[in-house]
Structure 1
Amino acid sequence: MLESSANLAPYACDPGESRGRRAAEPESPTRSCYQRDRDRVIHSGAFRRLQYKTQVFVYHEGDHFRTRLTHSIEVAQIARSISRALRLNEDLAEAIALAHDLGHTPFGHAGEDILGEMMAPYGGFDHNEQTFRIVTDLEHRYAHFRGLNLTWETLEGIVKHNGPLEGPNAGEKEIMKGGAGRFITAFCKDFDLEVGTFAGPEAQVAALADDIAYNNHDIDDGLRAGLFTVEDLQEIPLVGPTFSDVSKTYPGIDETSLIHESVRRLIDRMVNDLLEETKHRLDAAQPRNAADIRALDHPVVAFSREMRENERVLRSFLFSRMYRHDRVMRMTNEVKGVVEDLFQHFQAHPAALPDEWRDGTGSLDEKGRARLIADYIAGMTDRFAMQQHARLMGQEI
Structure 2
Amino acid sequence: MNLREEYEKLEEKILSPLATLSSKSKGRLKKEEKCSIRTDFQRDRDRIIHSKAFRRLKHKTQVFIAPEGDHYRTRLTHTLEVAQIARTISRAIRLNEDLTEAIALGHDLGHTPFGHTGESALNEITSIGFKHNEQSLRVVDYLEKGEGLNLTFEVRDGILCHSGDLIPKTNEGKVVKLADKIAYINHDIDDAIRAGILTLDDLPKECIKVLGKGHSERINTMIRAVIEHALKYGEIALVGEVGEATWELRKYMFDNVYIDSEAKKEEEKARSVLKQLFLYYIKHPEVMPKEFYEKVQVYGLERIVCDYIAGMTDRYAIHEFNKLFIPMPWKLKF
TM-score scaled by structure 2?
0.90
Q: Structure 1 CA distance, aligned partners of 2:85 and 2:193?
A: 22
Report the counterpart of residue 96 of structure 1 in structure 2: 103
Secondary structure of the residue that 1:61 maps to in structure 2? coil
Equivalent of 2:130 in 106, 117, 125: 125
**Structure 1 pair 228/108, CA: closer, same or farther in 2 (3 Å)?**
same
Is 1:41 the equivalent of 2:48?
A: yes
For the Cα contact (< 8 Å) 1:236–1:313, is it kept in 2? Answer: no
Secondary structure of the residue that 2:266 maps to in structure 1? helix
**Structure 1 pair 240/337, CA: closer, same or farther in 2 (3 Å)?**
farther
Q: Structure 2 CA distance, aligned partners of 1:99 and 1:132?
A: 9
Equivalent of 2:243 in 308, 311, 318: 308
Letter in 2 for 1:84: R
TM-score scaled by structure 1?
0.76
Q: Give the alignment of 1:5-154 within 5 angstroms.
A: 5=11, 6-119=13-126, 121=127, 123-140=128-145, 146-154=147-155
Q: Which moved more, 1:272-281 or 1:106-115?
A: 272-281
| Aligned-residue offset at 1:231 | 1.7
Equivalent of 1:225 in 195, 220, 223: 195
| Aligned-residue offset at 1:160 | 2.8
Is 1:373 the equivalent of 2:325?
A: no
**Structure 1 pair 210/47, CA: closer, same or farther in 2 (3 Å)?**
same
Q: Give the alignment of 1:244-323 within 5 angstroms.
A: 262-282=214-234, 300-323=235-258
Secondary structure of the residue that 1:139 maps to in structure 2? helix
| Aligned-residue offset at 1:241 | 6.9
Q: Structure 1 CA distance, aligned partners of 2:18 and 2:60?
A: 36
For the Cα contact (< 8 Å) 1:278–1:303, is it kept in 2? Answer: no
For the Cα contact (< 8 Å) 2:212–2:221, is it kept in 1? Answer: no
Report the counterpart of residue 357 of structure 1 in structure 2: 292
**Structure 1 pair 395/220, CA: closer, same or farther in 2 (3 Å)?**
farther
Letter in 2 for 1:277: H
Instruction: Encode CA deviations 1:87-121: one digit per residue, 9 max, x unaligned.
Output: 110000000011111111000010000100111x2
Report the counterpart of residue 389 of structure 1 in structure 2: 321
For the Cα contact (< 8 Å) 1:236–1:314, is it kept in 2? Answer: no
**Structure 1 pair 104/89, CA: closer, same or farther in 2 (3 Å)?**
same
Report the counterpart of residue 268 of structure 2 in structure 1: 333
Instruction: Encode CA deviations 1:212-247: one digit per residue, 9 max, x unaligned.
Output: 11111011111001111122125251368722xxxx
| Aligned-residue offset at 1:278 | 1.7
Q: How many residues align?
A: 321
For the Cα contact (< 8 Å) 2:83–2:100, is it kept in 1? Answer: yes
Secondary structure of the residue that 2:34 maps to in structure 1? coil
